[in-house]
Amino acid sequence: MIAGVRKEKPSRAVPAPSRNENFLFPPDRGTHPTTVFVGGPSRSVVNSVAFALAEMLDLTPYWLDVRNSSTISDGPDPVSTGWIPPDRLFVSESGHGLEQETSRTDRALWSIVRSDEPAEVLSHLTDFLRLPQLIQEIVSASDPSSGPRALVASNSDRVAHLFPRTADGLQRFLATLAAASLSIVAAHTGPTSPGRFGFATVFRLEVESPAAWMEGTLVCEQGIDRGPFAVGRSNRLSDVPGIARVFTGLFAANR
């Protein structure tokens, strides 16, 4: 959607993921909402890895595409290749629809609730109405009946100024999405800030261009305590089946 308008775009076949590929995250990450941050220097690689990680949480993730006409991607990614179906694609032009307008929250709240509503109900409604308009639309479109849904927030660096800058502030914001059974995988290109540690799991990508993805590495900075992907360990992208499958499909689709 673009601030409430569905973005019609034909989708193309995407290599089918498998639940067996979900060995990177601890088992409970697939049954409870979580938050993931992926940062690195290549926009194409960051967005594509974020998609691969989101598929490990939800086989059909949503995609929020934050667009900016002044910045060109350095390669293909799932949305430019047409992998994201129209009903799972939401678009923000230069952050439109992602602004937080708290002044309208109270007016909207008191127009839909009764004066005798329990405090817990009011708290949930207030938190939801404080979400940006486009995020509210995504939450409303998701169906959590089969488990938490996942959303890739691509190009999140373009709207970082619209969201809390501290880890604590981000945790409070992300908790509202978790309460709505929505997992977030944020893809951030360029320099990062300490605020990223407000996410449950934080990954750093070390790869300069899409062409070099096979030699690129994934490093966990927070959130995984044991195993081959534990904090501080470096793994080649080509050694992670779910990630390798995505890149192989992207390059095949763009030949």
Pair of tokens at residue 154? 């691509």
Q: How far apart are alpha carbons 88 and 150 in whole angstroms? A: 10
Q: What angle do CA 197, 238, 61 make, to 5 degrees?
A: 55
pTM: 0.85
Q: How far apart are alpha carbons 25 and 227 in whole angstroms? A: 10
Using CB atoms within 10 A of its CB, is residue 26 exposed (0-12), middle (13-18) or buried (19+)?
Answer: middle
How do residues 190-247 score in pLDDT, each as one tens digit? 999 999 999 999 999 999 999 999 999 999 999 999 888 999 999 999 999 999 999 9
- Residue bearing the bigger pLDDT, 189 or 25: 189
How do residues 124-146 score in pLDDT, each as one tens digit? 556 666 788 899 899 888 876 76
